Structure 1
Amino acid sequence: MTGTNWKNVNNWHWVEKNCLPWAKEYFTEKLTGAATEKGDVKVSIDEVRDVTGDVDLNQRKGKIITIFDVVLVLGWKGEGYGTTASGKIDIPEYMHDTEVEDIVFDISLDSPNAEREKIKDVVRLELTKVLREKMTPFAKDLVEAHVKDVFIAPEEMKGHPVLKQYQPKPPAPAQTTATSTAPSTKGGLTSIKQSIDFSASPADIYETLLDKQRVQAWTRGKAEIGREVGSTFNLFDGNITGIIVELVPNKKIVQKWRLKTWPAGHHSTVEMEFVEGSDKTTLKVTQSDVPASEKDMTEKNWQNYYWNSIKATFGFGGR
């Protein structure tokens, strides 16, 4: 895409990639062989027979958008109760806005009898749980596999013409005193605590918060961030800045963090702790030294501009 970067300066224009061929390979690889058992009954997916529909990755104004609506047909087999069984699973609709627990599985049985119906029940009650788990990361994996084809990182713009109105503004001179309209700490300082569930591993969330390319995807713009203790970060056109204070890979991030509108020189401390669960990661966030007058707005901004955006961009939606 580098050769045509000048045509899509600052990722302004709509860019779309058809990812259905990739999706067919993805589901075939992920779902074939999926298996479980209950008692003496063993069931598994022996083939992905068909994947049809639309799978597109889009970019507009720096925003990465996943749009998909697919129909899947799977073949299953099982054994137990002294016999074998086989059949088909139809997934009539799997869309970008479908919650994984809402996926519908229509299960049919070849040559039914009483024993085979019992095997089919294990498919319905147990194998579908495995399928849901394997389908959960699809949106995230779709973005990771194809984001470079639709999103141009700012550093790749070098050497290409940039429209004047989109040139970065020089940093504003440092203020020595807070202006009369800036929030004051005179009303006191307070703390914010949030707990956010993501359908992703701690490593995925850790990378999403520190990897520059990923950060630029969910902030929808240019971002500066590093992985070294003592390095600075700059997000949302300078509205959020700070310093990395402590890093424990996949476990903890500590930052000195401030909003541009806060009194000059005042930083809060943000500690993010990653707690791994059986099917999710819980991110526990504690932010101290927040100007009391800014607490409500800061809480909303975390939710809207960080957590909701990350979930929408990478498909990390927690339950």
Structure 2
Amino acid sequence: MSNMSNWKNVNNCHRTSKNCLNWAKEYLKEQSANLIAEDNGICVQINDLTECSGDAELNQRKGKLIPIIDLNLEFEITVEEENDSKRPIKEVVRTHLIPLLKEQFKNLGNDMVETHSKDVKIESSQLGPATPPRAVTPIEPSQIHTASTPPRPATPTTSNSDTVKSSAQKIINTTNISEVVELQTSADQIYETLLDPGRVAAWTRSRPDIFRHVGSVFSLFDGNVTGTMVELVQNEKIVQTWRLKTWPEGHFSTVTIKFEQASDFTRVHINQEGVPIGEVDAVRNNWQSYYWNPIKNVFGYGALI
């Protein structure tokens, strides 16, 4: 791949990409300049955006423009206060300044599309015929253009456990995982983010095979995660079989994801049954590092601090 920040490919992948990091830095610096939050005699003002690193890209996949944003920001601030307590300062930043920043930055993705779409847009006449969706065929690695490292497959080990699954060839000791994640958006948005192919492509940084009907096979991250949709209740629940590529052949866990809508956020309850013993830490890390963290960063569903 070329090192140029803006490149186009109209041959096979039907995808374009533009690095917008420098533009994003100037945009965020302008939007946050001299922003002030005040409370209880404490005034916090942003002087400058001193660090802006990470990813800010505009991608086109099959005619859809998708902004991918995963940034680390650091600010220089000035604090004026009537007392020397540090805790109130932190509270002012958390409860007043952060919401102001989120409000200022909420249009970053849309503005990126409007500003740079002409640089990555390919006319439909150049794209050629679209490939029909495949409902049950896993994605071939050779067809994927990936911009990130897929989840780290865990190394199978054996140990004792409560649950034992047997097959004709081997006994697989398994256990269960339960976690709760809070995302600052509505249940319907999370449901769409986990199932819509365009959104999944944004947070996985790869081309997924995923379809929103029961019985369909899905494949993510270069085929490192595969499974089948078992149950779909719109905006309420997703049940799927799920496995890592390096798990014993034919062994799948069962993942149940339930959405609990709160006043201004959603609790996501994840229960995974049948995880091979010895892989619990790796599986937990994969959910956090390759699902929830990218979803929070790309779509802004997580707190800034």
Shorter-chain TM-score tier: 0.5 to 0.7
Deviations 1:266-290 (A, max 9, x none): 2111111122233322211111111
Does the 8 Å CA contact 1:229/1:245 hold for their aligned counterparts? yes
Does the 8 Å CA contact 2:256/2:271 hold for their aligned counterparts? yes
- From the superposition, tell whether residues 10 and 313 of structure 1 become closer, same or farther in structure 2 (CA, over 3 Å): farther
Deviations 1:137-170 (A, max 9, x none): 66565336646948789x999549xxxxx8428x
Q: How do 1:124-163 residues align onto structure 2 when only pairs under 5 Å count? A: 132-133=98-99, 135-136=101-102, 141-143=107-109, 146=112, 149=117, 158-159=127-128
Amino acid across the alignment from 1:231? S
Deviations 1:160-193 (A, max 9, x none): 9xxxxx8428xxxxxxxxxxx8667635110111
2:237 to 252, 256, 271: 252
Moved more, 194-203 or 143-152: 143-152
TM-score normalised to structure 2 length = 0.57
Match of 1:36 in 2: none
- From the superposition, tell whether residues 133 and 8 of structure 1 become closer, same or farther in structure 2 (CA, over 3 Å): farther
Match of 2:282 in 1: 297
- From the superposition, tell whether residues 311 and 188 of structure 1 become closer, same or farther in structure 2 (CA, over 3 Å): same
- From the superposition, tell whether residues 133 and 249 of structure 1 become closer, same or farther in structure 2 (CA, over 3 Å): farther
Give the total of aligned pairs.
229
**RMSD of equivalent CA atoms:** 4.6
Amino acid across the alignment from 1:230? G
1:275 aligned onto 2:260 = yes
1:69 aligned onto 2:67 = no
In structure 2, what is the Cα distance between the partners aligned to 1:232 and 1:216?
16
Deviations 1:8-31 (A, max 9, x none): 9686865328878xxxxxxxxxxx
In structure 2, what is the Cα distance between the partners aligned to 1:278 and 1:253?
22
Return the structure number with greater helix share. 1
1:241 aligned onto 2:226 = yes
Match of 1:168 in 2: 143
Aligned-residue offset at 1:249: 2.1
Q: How do 1:28-39 residues align onto structure 2 when only pairs under 5 Å count? A: none
Aligned-residue offset at 1:212: 0.7
Which secondary structure state, in structure 2, belongs to the residue aligned with residue 209 of structure 1? Answer: helix
Match of 1:115 in 2: none
1:264 aligned onto 2:279 = no
Which secondary structure state, in structure 1, belongs to the residue aligned with residue 212 of structure 2? Answer: coil
- From the superposition, tell whether residues 133 and 312 of structure 1 become closer, same or farther in structure 2 (CA, over 3 Å): same
Amino acid across the alignment from 1:290? V
Moved more, 144-153 or 210-219: 144-153
TM-score normalised to structure 1 length = 0.55
Q: How do 1:4-15 residues align onto structure 2 when only pairs under 5 Å count? A: 4-6=8-10, 14-15=18-19
In structure 2, what is the Cα distance between the partners aligned to 1:11 and 1:267?
33
Does the 8 Å CA contact 2:48/2:76 hold for their aligned counterparts? yes
- From the superposition, tell whether residues 249 and 129 of structure 1 become closer, same or farther in structure 2 (CA, over 3 Å): same
Amino acid across the alignment from 2:143? P
Deviations 1:59-78 (A, max 9, x none): xxxxxxxxx33335689xxx
The runs of 5 or more residues in structure 2 that have no matched partner are 1-6, 37-43, 53-70, 81-90, 130-140, 145-154, 159-164, 166-170
Deviations 1:107-142 (A, max 9, x none): 9xxxxxxxxxxxxxxxxx99x968854653665653
In structure 1, what is the Cα distance between the partners aligned to 2:212 and 2:125?
20
In structure 2, what is the Cα distance between the partners aligned to 1:284 and 1:159?
42
- Asked which structure has the greater CA Rg, the reply is 1
Aligned-residue offset at 1:235: 0.3
In structure 2, what is the Cα distance between the partners aligned to 1:209 and 1:275?
15
Aligned-residue offset at 1:225: 1.0
- From the superposition, tell whether residues 279 and 261 of structure 1 become closer, same or farther in structure 2 (CA, over 3 Å): same
Amino acid across the alignment from 1:168? Q
In structure 2, what is the Cα distance between the partners aligned to 1:271 and 1:4?
39
% same residue:
37
Does the 8 Å CA contact 2:8/2:17 hold for their aligned counterparts? no
Match of 2:26 in 1: 54
Match of 1:64 in 2: none
Deviations 1:10-58 (A, max 9, x none): 86865328878xxxxxxxxxxxxxxxxxxxxxxxxxxxxxxxx712xxx
1:206 aligned onto 2:188 = no
In structure 2, what is the Cα distance between the partners aligned to 1:137 and 1:272?
30
Match of 1:63 in 2: none
